[in-house]
Structure 1
Amino acid sequence: MTSKKLSRKALTIAATILVAIALVYAFWPQPTRVDIGTVSQGPMQVTINEEAHTRVSELYVLSAPVSGRLLRLELKPGAAVVQGKTLVAQLLPNPLDSHEITQGQARVQAAEAAVDAALAALKQAENDQYLADQQARRNEQQARQGALSVADNEQTQVKADNAAAAVASAVAMLAMRRAELLNARAALAGSGSDAPFKAIDILAPISGKILRVMEENEKVVTAGVPIVEIGDVTHGLEVEVELLSRDAVQIRPGQPVQISNWGGDEIIAGVVSRIDPLGYLKTSALGVEERRVKTMITLPSLPASASGLGHGFRVDVAIVVWQKTSAIKVPSSALLRENGDWAVFVVDNGKAQLRTLRIEKNNGTEASVLQGLQVNDPVILYPAADLADGMAVEQR
C-alpha cells in the first residue's frame, strides 16, 4: 500500500514538472523574425527619372512657296534626301491676272530701287570707314609723339569703330534688300502665259530623311501650306523631357543623363544641354495639375543598335544630380525616423540595436551614410513599429 502511494506521488510530481516546463517554454519570449540586409560600399547616384521622347534638333517643315496645284509626291516617309539636290515636290503656280501682275512688277521695281539705295549706302559707309581709319592712324602716331591728347586720340578711335559698325550694318541691309527683291520676283513666277505648264521645283533644304508627308496627293494648295517634314535623325537626334519645376531647379547644363527603355538593352549616354526658363501648367494622367519645364538632352553618340531610333520615340531618362564613387550605402528600407533624426536597427549578437545615423543622400533605394555605420553591418529591413531597442531578433 505504501509503495503504491509513493509511486502515485512521484508520477504527480513528474507530471507537474513537465507541465511547468511546457508552460515556461510556451510563454518564454521568442526572437522576432525579421529581414536583414547588409551595409555595403560602392558607387552611388541620385537621379531624377522621367519619361521623355526623342526629337530632331533641326526640324524643317517644307511649305508651298506660292498658291497653285501641288503635284503628287513620290517620296515616302523614311526616304533619304540631299540638301539642294533631291526634288521633294513640284508645284504648278496659279496664273496671275493683270492687276496682280501690275502690283508684282511695282514691287519688283521698288525692291530693285531699294537694292540700289542699299548699295549706295554701303559705298558711302566704306568711304567713311576709310577716312576714319586714316585719321585714327595719324592721331595714334601723334599721340605717341605727345602732340595729341589721349582724350582726342580715344575719340578718333571710337569714330573709326563706329564707321566699321556702319559698314557691317550697310552690308546686312543690302542682303535684306536683295532677299526682298528675290521674293518679289518669285511672286511673278506665274505671270507668263505658259505658267500653268511650268512647275516650280521644291528641293530639300537639308540632308536627312522625310519624317512625315502632310500632302501626298495632287491638290490645289495655298501659299504656306505644309507639305513634308524633313530632319536628320542620324546626327541631329536629341531628347526632350518635361520635368516638374521643383526638379528642374536642380538641373544644370552639362549634367550626365542615362537613357534607357528605348528598345534595346544598352544605356545611351546623354548630356543636359538646355533648361527652358518658362514653366507651364500640365494635367497628368491622374488629373493632377503640375508645373512642368522643358529640358533638352543632347546625344553625343548613338550605339549601332540604336540606329532605328527616330523622331518622337518614347524613352526613359535618368538625370544624374549627385554621384559618389565610394559611398557607404545602407538600404533605404532600413531607415526610420527617431526624434527627428535618421536611424536604423543594427543586429548585434542576436539583438536589435537602435543606432542614429548621419545621412548624406538618399535615392529611394540606397542611402549614403556619413556617420553611424560600418561596411558589412547587418541592419533590419522594413522594421516593424513595435520593434524596440534590445529585442531579440533572428533572420526570417
Structure 2
Amino acid sequence: MKSIWIKRVGLALLAVAVVAGFGWALREQPALVDVAEVTAAPMRVTIREEGMTRVRDVYAVSAPIAGHLTRTVVNEGDVVKANNTVVAAIHPLDPPLIDRRTEAELLASRDGARAGVGVAEIDLQRAQSALKLAEDELARTIKLFGSGFVSESALQRLTNEVDLRKTAVDAAKAVIGLRNAELANAEARLLQPDPADPTGESCCVNLLAPIDGTVLAVMARSEQAVAAGAKIAEIGNVHDLEIVVDLLSSDAVRIASGTKGEISDWGGDHTLRATVRRVDPAAFTKVSALGIEEQRVTVVLDLEDTDVRLGHGYRVFVEMTVWECAECVQVPIRALFRNGDRWNVFAADGGRARQTEVQIGHMNDDAAEVLTGLKPGAGVVIHPSDALVDGGLVERRN
C-alpha cells in the first residue's frame, strides 16, 4: 500500500515537472534591441552639396581683328603682367591662292593699267607742248602790244590761253598719278604669300595681358587663322577665389546672403570658412545622374579662409547652416517611425518597449529635435522591427 502512494506521488511530481517545462518553454522571450539615449546637446541643420572653386574675375583675351594668329607663347600656369606680357600676336591674313583663269584676268588688268599710264604720259607731253607754244605766242604778243600793233583784247585772249594750257598740264599729271595707282592696284592683286616671310613680320598686333595674374586656360595654342572676337586665352588671379554651388530650388529658398558655410573634402586636412554672397534669382534645369530633371539655383560664397593649394575649378563640398540651437532635446533619426501621420518611438522602460508619440521639430541626417514626448536620458529603440509591439519585453543587445 505504501509503495502505491509513493508511485502516485512520483507520477504527480513528474506531471508537474512536464507542465512546468512546457510553461518555461512557451514563456514570452524578450526581443534583443539596440538602445540609444535621448540627449540635450547642440544641434544644427545643414545643406551639403558639391561645388567648385572659381576665380572671381576671369578675363578673356580675344582677337580684336581677323588675322593670322602666331603660336601662343604662354602656357597654363604662367604668371603675366598687365600691359606688359605678350599673350599672342596677330598678323595679316595671307592673300588667297590665284587659279590660272583669275591670274590671266589680273595680268590683263595689269597690262591695261600700264597702257593707261603710257597714254597719260603722252597726253602730258601734248599738254606741255601746247603750253610752251602758248607761252611763246604770249611773249611775242607782249612785245607787239608795247609797239601798239596788237590790241589789248588779243593780249588778254592769249593770257587766258596760257592759263588754260597750264591747267591742262596739271590735269595730265593728275591722270598719270591715277593711272599709276591703278597699275599698283593691279600688281598688288597678283601678290602671293612670300616664302621668305612666312610669319609676316612686317605687321602685327600684339595682344597684351589685361591684368596681373595667372594664365588659366589657352584656347588657341597653335598657329592659325582666327576671326574677330575669337577667344585665345583666359587670365585671372588665382589668389582671389569664390565658391560656386548649384542647390535644389527647395534648398535655395532656405539660404540667404550672409549664411555661414564650411568647405570640406577639398584635399586639405581642415575645413575652410565661407559666407554666402549671392543667391541667383533665377533657376535652371539640370538633369541628374538618374535622368531626373531638377531645378537648380546657383549660390556664390566668399572664402574667409583660403589655401594656396586651391586653384580654379577645383571640386569641394559646401555645408551651409540653415538652423542651429545651443541646446535642444534630440533623438536619433534611426529611432523614429511613422504611425499614420505622426512620429512615434519605442521607449525602453523597465525591460519593456513603450510606444510613444513624439512631436518633432527640425531634423538633420543624424538626429531630430524633440518638442514633446521624450525627456533627456530616456532610452529609445533604434531600428525597431515589425515584430516589436507596445508593452513587449525587450533586452538590450550587448
2:281 equivalent to 1:277? yes
C-alpha separation in 2, matches of 1:312 and 1:206:
20
Alignment partner of 1:333: what SS?
A: helix
Equivalent residue in structure 1 for 2:247, among 231, 236, 243: 243
Alignment partner of 1:292: what SS?
A: strand
C-alpha separation in 2, matches of 1:352 and 1:324:
30
State the one-letter code of the partner of 2:296. Answer: R
Alignment partner of 1:251: what SS?
A: coil
C-alpha separation in 2, matches of 1:80 and 1:8:
109
C-alpha separation in 2, matches of 1:28 and 1:309:
65
State the one-letter code of the partner of 1:84. Answer: N
State the one-letter code of the partner of 1:234. Answer: H
C-alpha separation in 2, matches of 1:45 and 1:78:
40
Shift in Å, 1:288: 0.9
Higher mean C-alpha displacement, 32-41 vs 385-394:
385-394
C-alpha separation in 2, matches of 1:215 and 1:58:
21
**1:381 aligned partner:** 382
Shift in Å, 1:326: 1.4
State the one-letter code of the partner of 1:269. Answer: R
C-alpha separation in 2, matches of 1:36 and 1:212:
56
8 A contact 1:95–1:196 mirrored in 2 = no
C-alpha separation in 1, matches of 2:244 and 2:358:
39
2:18 equivalent to 1:19? yes
State the one-letter code of the partner of 1:298. Answer: D
**1:297 aligned partner:** 301
Q: Residue deviations 1:42-101, cap 9 Å, x none? A: 2211112222222222111111122222222232111112222322222224499xxxxx
TM normalised by structure 1 equals: 0.69
**1:226 aligned partner:** 231
8 A contact 1:66–1:93 mirrored in 2 = no
Equivalent residue in structure 1 for 2:216, among 208, 211, 220: 211
C-alpha separation in 2, matches of 1:370 and 1:65:
65
Runs of 5+ consecutive residues of structure 1 not aligned to the other structure: 97-193
Q: Residue deviations 1:336-383, cap 9 Å, x none? A: 234533232221111222333232211131011223322221111122
Quote the sequence identity (%): 38
Q: Report the structure number with the largest CA radius of gyration.
A: 2
Q: How many residues in Structure 1 have an aligned counterpart in Structure 2?
A: 294
**1:142 aligned partner:** none
Q: Residue deviations 1:260-292, cap 9 Å, x none? A: 221223122111111111122221111111111
**2:331 aligned partner:** 330
Q: Residue deviations 1:215-249, cap 9 Å, x none? A: 112222222111111121212x1121111111111
Listed as ranges, the matches of 1:101-250 within 5 Å are 196-235=201-240, 237-250=241-254
C-alpha separation in 2, matches of 1:271 and 1:217:
41
**1:150 aligned partner:** none
C-alpha separation in 2, matches of 1:241 and 1:52:
4
TM normalised by structure 2 equals: 0.69
Runs of 5+ consecutive residues of structure 2 not aligned to the other structure: 96-198
**2:391 aligned partner:** 390
8 A contact 2:32–2:395 mirrored in 1 = yes
Higher mean C-alpha displacement, 371-380 vs 252-261:
371-380
8 A contact 2:272–2:304 mirrored in 1 = no
**2:33 aligned partner:** 34
- Superposition CA RMSD, Å: 2.2
Q: Residue deviations 1:145-193, cap 9 Å, x none? A: xxxxxxxxxxxxxxxxxxxxxxxxxxxxxxxxxxxxxxxxxxxxxxxxx
State the one-letter code of the partner of 1:223. Answer: A
C-alpha separation in 2, matches of 1:389 and 1:198:
92
8 A contact 2:353–2:394 mirrored in 1 = yes
C-alpha separation in 1, matches of 2:62 and 2:92:
14
State the one-letter code of the partner of 1:70. Answer: L
2:56 equivalent to 1:51? no
2:263 equivalent to 1:262? no
**2:59 aligned partner:** 60
C-alpha separation in 2, matches of 1:16 and 1:317:
72
Listed as ranges, the matches of 1:367-378 within 5 Å are 367-378=368-379
8 A contact 2:40–2:329 mirrored in 1 = yes
CA spacing shift, 1:7–1:82, aligned 2, 3 Å: farther
Equivalent residue in structure 1 for 2:291, among 287, 291, 300: 287
